[in-house]
Amino acid sequence: MGIDGLRQRIMNRRLGFFAAISMAVAGCTSSSSNNAAVLAGSGVTQLVVCHGFDCRNRTTLALGGADARKFASIMSGSSSAAAERTAIGRAIAYFEQRSTQAVGVKDEPKSDISQSGRRGQMDCIDESTNSRTLLRYLESRGLLKFHKVLGNVSRGFFADGRYPHSTAVVQDASGEKWAVDSWYEPAGGTPDIMLLSQWLKRGVMGVR
């Protein structure tokens, strides 16, 4: 093996090491390992709320008629994809307010590994899973007119200067994909909604 080949082999091992460490420490892959349980437990009358990091804790939020009417009101009247994305942000904020009532603890912004296992605190897996759960609920009720819900997406693995991070994603009729990221705000805050291509470039050295 030549010098260049040896260097590449060493580099590959280092990258593999950092990737493995990042997954073990942060747990922020594109979806929770408990995602099947979340999907099975969520429907039109109830939603599963993940918390405690990697969805290790799950609380069922019962949805009554008032909730159904609230979501319908928030999403009604959107005459464009841009207006619907604004409404999505409001719907997620309301969902998080209701989730806080169900869990009994308010999630703080940007929960990090030191809060792992704490009831009510959410890493990016919890946040993105919860956002996707709500988006799927809206979609199932026909409240999304300009977007469809996609699988969650991740970025970063430490070696590139970025903490592993995950987001929910929607796609508009033109094919553009949009990140719906609620991790940076406390429970009930408005999520970041931006082009996924822009979101994928962010996060270097922890910058939002």
What is the domain partition of the chain in residue ranges?
31-199
30 pLDDT band, cuts 50/70/90, is low
Q: How confident is the model at residue 33 (pLDDT cuts 50, 70, 90)?
A: low
Mean pLDDT of 31-56: 85
pTM, 2 dp: 0.82
Burial of 184 (0-12, 13-18, 19+ CB in 10 A): middle
Is the distance from CB of 199 to CB of 155 less than 8 angstroms?
yes
- H/E stretch holding 179 reads strand 177-181
Q: What are the pLDDT digits (tens) for 174-201?
A: 999 999 999 999 999 999 999 999 999 9
Question: How does pLDDT run across 88-143, given as a tens digit for each residue?
Answer: 999 999 999 999 999 999 999 988 777 888 899 999 999 999 999 999 999 999 99
Is residue 205 helix, strand or coil? coil
Cα–Cα distance between 167 and 177 in angstroms, integer? 12
* H-run or E-run covering 66: helix 65-75
